Structure 1
Amino acid sequence: MKFKRNGWKKVVTIGCLLVFLFAAYNLVEIAMEYYKNRKSLEDVQETFYASAAEKGSANLTDKASDLPIVQEEFKELLEQNEEVVGWIKIPGTEIDYPVLQADNNTDYLNKGFNKEYSIAGSIFMDYRNTIDSMKQNTVIYGHRMKDGSMFDDLIKYKDEDFFEEHKTFEIKTLYDTYEAEIFAVYITTTEFNYIETNFASDDEFAKYLTEIREQSMYQTDVEVDEDDQVLTLSTCDYLLDPNEGRMVVQAKLVKKN
């Protein structure tokens, strides 16, 4: 009997050890994925800001064709990934990333700037949007990563003091630079169609803006009407629903160049 008991103890010990090793392996693998994602983005940031420093003039229009010229800081990035459409930077956060766009809203959920698998995915624009003629609502998505990367820092806007100190940020597209003036911050679920990009009429868009104001945690003096363009930033939130909960930050776009 003693032999059997000792045998079972060994089996249990070995089993526990295997479980521990498997869990440790998974943690190391996840940590490596986080590291690779950050390193890849650091390389992209270095390229972007080096190009921006060399930029000699503001965005111009090709007079011969009347087509917008790509801003200098994006030219080298486009050689690396032709699906880059912009850059978003929010002061007081780690959000300082390229914005990508595929012909669907799934490709960049788990694909990095280099188009290889990435646990963090990429910051990406809704496939229904176009940067050459910004719609009434331009939507940008990003994962909420546990290491604080991607759109995790959007949750800082739940803090009113942070919101008061960071009401504006800058977003660039290939052709234009905008100041984004935040007018709504809220948590919701996917049942609310805050990602609508096509409105049948100005009245429908005005109704949408009213619904946003009603949901917002804060009331601001930013005036937004049916003639304006809205930028919507979306990430996951787990308060209302573990799967369908969303954190939303919305801003009025004001062209700078």
Structure 2
Amino acid sequence: MPKGTRGDAAPWFVLSTTFAAVLIAVVAFCASSTVTAQSVTPSPRGQPESLIQVPTTLSEGAEGLAETTIQAVDWDYWLATNPNIVAWVTVPGTAIDHPIVQATADDPTYYLTHDVYGNWNRYGCAYVDAGCDGLQGISTVVFGHNMGLSTNSMFADFAKFSDEAFARSHPLIIVQTPQETIWLRVSAAEIVEGTEQAKRTNFADIDEMRAWFAERFAQADVKLENDEEAERLITFVTCSYTTYDNERTLVYAQPA
């Protein structure tokens, strides 16, 4: 059953139409393409390799955190490779370990069909919505493909957060930027129809954002915890294939 629309939300059908066009191109391209999911994620991240300590209070109860460090991003290396990279997201215990880019305003969905190197690639690259101020605003929306096809490429594992047990055992999301490391806790997950007006990036102030998210949290399919005093919200969006013919899974995360 569709959930109602709210506020000044931007319609998902714009993204849905773009995804439909991309999938049509995929069908035509698959027979001859040698591009693989593995080619989407750069490896290694760059040199010199360094590690970031995960605070013990954040690693408790999270799968995939037997080790208390994660690999740091070499920003000199990656910004020289592609200045559109704004962050790197890691979800311990999953295959999510990817750069996040933001295209220019005149071609905001460029990375739906291009990898981090700017090459055509049906798996694309995780990217920040064009309406966001990078990762600096109080509400950031990040998109990434889930192509199905029995792969765990790009944001496919975010679709698994509609299962509460999975969400509770993978509560930590780490976002590195050139300026900081952002430690996030999964707050909620929601499955919406692709045409639902659920995305919102612009708010008059932080109180308006908190009130808006309180509504989203109340109707979410998976509810873990809503920090009513959170100073930012990051939403990770991917396609999923459980309830609707055209659906998205939204994973909401707040500062840990």
Q: Is the 8 A contact 2:87 2:176 kept in 1?
A: yes
Q: 1:165 to 1:101 in 2, by over 3 A?
A: same
Q: Aligned partner of 1:38: which letter?
A: Q
| 1:65-101 deviation line (CA, Å, top 9, x unaligned) | xxxxxx9711111111111111001112111000111
Q: Is 1:47 the counterpart of 2:45 in the alignment?
A: yes
Paired residue secondary structure (1:45): coil
Q: Is the 8 A contact 2:188 2:225 kept in 1?
A: no
Paired residue secondary structure (1:135): coil
Unaligned runs of 5+ in 2: 1-27, 53-71
Equivalent of 1:187, from 178, 185, 191?
Answer: 191
Equivalent of 1:230, from 210, 233, 237?
Answer: 233
Matches of 2:90 and 2:167, distance apart in 1? 15
User: How do residues 172-211 of structure 1 correspond to structure 2 at under 5 angstroms?
Assistant: 172-211=176-215
User: How do residues 49-68 of structure 1 correspond to structure 2 at under 5 angstroms?
Assistant: 50-53=47-50
Q: 1:172 to 1:149 in 2, by over 3 A?
A: same
Matches of 1:38 and 1:188, distance apart in 2? 29
Q: Is 1:119 the counterpart of 2:119 in the alignment?
A: no
Q: Is the 8 A contact 1:131 1:173 kept in 2?
A: no
Q: Give the Å deviation of 1:167.
A: 0.9
Q: 1:171 to 1:151 in 2, by over 3 A?
A: same
Could you tell me the TM-score, scaled by structure 1's length? 0.72
Q: Aligned partner of 1:181: which letter?
A: R
| 1:77-133 deviation line (CA, Å, top 9, x unaligned) | 11111111110011121110001111243110101111111011111111222247x
Q: Which deviates more from structure 2 when the two are superposed, residues 140-149 or residues 215-224?
A: 215-224
Q: 1:250 to 1:72 in 2, by over 3 A?
A: closer
Equivalence for 1:149: 153
Q: Give the Å deviation of 1:223.
A: 1.3
Equivalent of 1:139, from 138, 141, 161?
Answer: 141
Equivalence for 2:76: 75
Q: Aligned partner of 2:133: which letter?
A: T
Q: 1:79 to 1:203 in 2, by over 3 A?
A: closer
Unaligned runs of 5+ in 1: 1-24, 56-70
Q: How many residues align?
A: 207
Q: Aligned partner of 2:38: which letter?
A: R
Query: Which structure has the higher relative contact order (CA within 8 Å, separation 6+)?
Result: 2
Could you tell me the TM-score, scaled by structure 2's length? 0.72
Q: Percent of aligned pairs with the same residue?
A: 25
Q: Give the Å deviation of 1:38.
A: 1.4
| 1:32-51 deviation line (CA, Å, top 9, x unaligned) | 22x2x41352xx23034x43
Q: Aligned partner of 2:104: which letter?
A: D
Equivalence for 2:65: none
- What is the CA RMSD across the aligned residues, in angstroms? 2.6
Structure holding more helix per residue: 1
Matches of 2:173 and 2:207, distance apart in 1? 28
Paired residue secondary structure (2:176): strand
